[in-house]
Structures are given as C-alpha cells and as structure tokens.
Amino acid sequence: MLTRKQMELLDFIRVRMGEDGVPPSFDEMKEALDLKSKSGIHRLITALEERGFIRRMAHRARAIEIVKLPEAMDAPGFRPRLVAKTPAPPQGAMAVEPVHAMELPVMGRIAAGVPIEAIAHVSHHVAVPGSMLSGKGQHYALEVKGDSMIEAGINDGDIVVIREQTTAENGDIVVALVEDAEATLKRFRRKGNMIALEAANPAYETRLLPDHAVKVQGRLVGLIRTY
C-alpha cells in the first residue's frame, strides 16, 4: 500500500516519462509535489524502490525505471492528482506562429542553360510557404536544369516558384517560351521590338530574339533548395 505522496510521485514520474522519454529531475519532482527540500523526494524514491515499483540504475543521472504500477493506478477510474507542468519558454523567446503553406505542381524541368522543350506535365508536388506566393493569380514550380543563372543565386537542381503572367518588366527573371518550342529561365530585357534573354553566368551568351518569338509564361517569385 502506497501513501498519497508516494502515489503522486510515482504517477508524476510515469506521466513525464510518457511525455519526454526520461524521468523528471529531483528539482522538478520537488516542485510538482510542493515539497520544501529534495530530501523528501529522496525518501519517497527510496520507499518506492524498496516496494519494487521503481528501479534506480547506479552512476547515471535521472536513471529511474518504473517496474510496476499499483493496481489502483491501472484502474479505469484513476485520476492523477498531479499534472506535468509545461516548462516556461526562455526569457525573450518569440512565439511560434503556424505557417500557411500550399502544394504546388512541379511542372517538370526548366533550362537555366541551353533551352529545352516546353514543359506541360506535372511531375510531382511541393509544399511552398504562403508568404512566397506574391500577388494574385496561379503559381507553379519548376526544377532547374543547368547553371546559366548561378550568379542570380539559382543553381542546378533548385526548385523555382513561378507566378503565371504574360508580361514582364525589364530585369525580371521569367520563364520564356521561345518560338513555341523551347522553355528557358532567363532575365528579361526589352530592346525596341527585340527581347533579350540574359543569363547570369558569363559562360552563356545573351539571346536576342524578335518580340513575337518570345512568350512570357511567368515570373520568378521564390526558390526552394534542398541540401
């Protein structure tokens, strides 16, 4: 037969091990049972060990193992008197707020180098933070192939997030459809009735095309990189 304090301590240890995977410290036990010193906890722990409810392992911190529980604690109507306290956050800690995310279709691969065939199929989906989806309209994602945009911070294998639009400002990084056959990721510049598709890598030349040969398919609004 356990005393009320012994039962409370055993239950507190059980709850904390279930939550954290490790027993509480003696200070946490003292606070939970509202005792003035840790010597009272030592006496309760010794009593529980002598009665075969717990086992202490030598030379290890917080090394307490529950061997068995009293029948009263296993009964369906048992209600613990103690509830494990949630630790207070560190001083100055900022609250963590939920982040809105959306799943976007990854429409295959896009060339950041030599243009590849136009992309029109969904290969998979990727979760994207809602804050990355700027403005109204539809968004999609593409996997980058090539290194022509590395000086713009876009590497081979990155996922770029694109907002669908058919117009662009000078300096925008866009998905451009060239002569209805090739899709490429480049920086857009209009020069009279010509369109320059600029790489961000000196190893690649700027392509200068008539404006009717270039259709803007979207503008870069975000990038996702996996290491």
DSSP string, 11-38: HHHHHHHHHHSSPPPHHHHHHHTT-SSH
Q: What pLDDT score was predicted for residue 95? A: 67
Whole-angstrom Cα distance, residue 164 to residue 138? Answer: 6
C-alpha torsion sign, points 84, 85, 90, 94: positive
191 among known catalytic residues: no
HSE-CB at 95 with a 13 A cutoff on CA atoms is 2
Q: What pLDDT score was predicted for residue 206? A: 94
Q: What is the 8-class DSSP label of residue 113?
A: S
Cα Rg of the chain, angstroms: 32
Q: What pLDDT score was predicted for residue 84? A: 52
Residues 39, 123, 148, 191: which is the catalytic one? 148
Q: What pLDDT score was predicted for residue 62? A: 64
User: 4-74 adopts what CATH topology?
Assistant: Arc Repressor Mutant, subunit A (1.10.10)
Every domain of the chain and the residues it spans: 4-74, 103-224
Q: What pLDDT score was predicted for residue 15? A: 85
Q: What CATH code would you report for 103-224?
A: 2.10.109.10
Residues 123, 186, 191, 215: which is the catalytic one? 186
C-alpha torsion sign, points 137, 142, 148, 151: positive
148 among known catalytic residues: yes
Residues in Cβ contact with 202 at an 8 Å cutoff, skipping those fewer than 6 apart = none
Q: What pLDDT score was predicted for residue 22? A: 79
Say how far residue 208 (Cα) sits from the centre of its chain: 41
Whole-angstrom Cα distance, residue 208 to residue 190? Answer: 9
Report pTM.
0.54
Whole-angstrom Cα distance, residue 162 to residue 180? Answer: 19
Per-residue pLDDT of the chain (227 residues; tens, 9 = 90+): 788 888 888 888 888 887 777 788 888 888 888 888 888 888 998 999 998 888 887 655 567 888 888 877 665 556 665 555 556 667 777 766 666 677 887 877 887 766 555 566 677 788 787 777 766 778 888 989 889 999 999 999 999 999 999 999 999 999 999 998 888 999 999 999 999 999 999 999 999 999 999 999 999 999 988 77
Both tokens of 192, joined, read 């009279």
Q: State whether residue 216 is helix, strand or coil.
A: strand
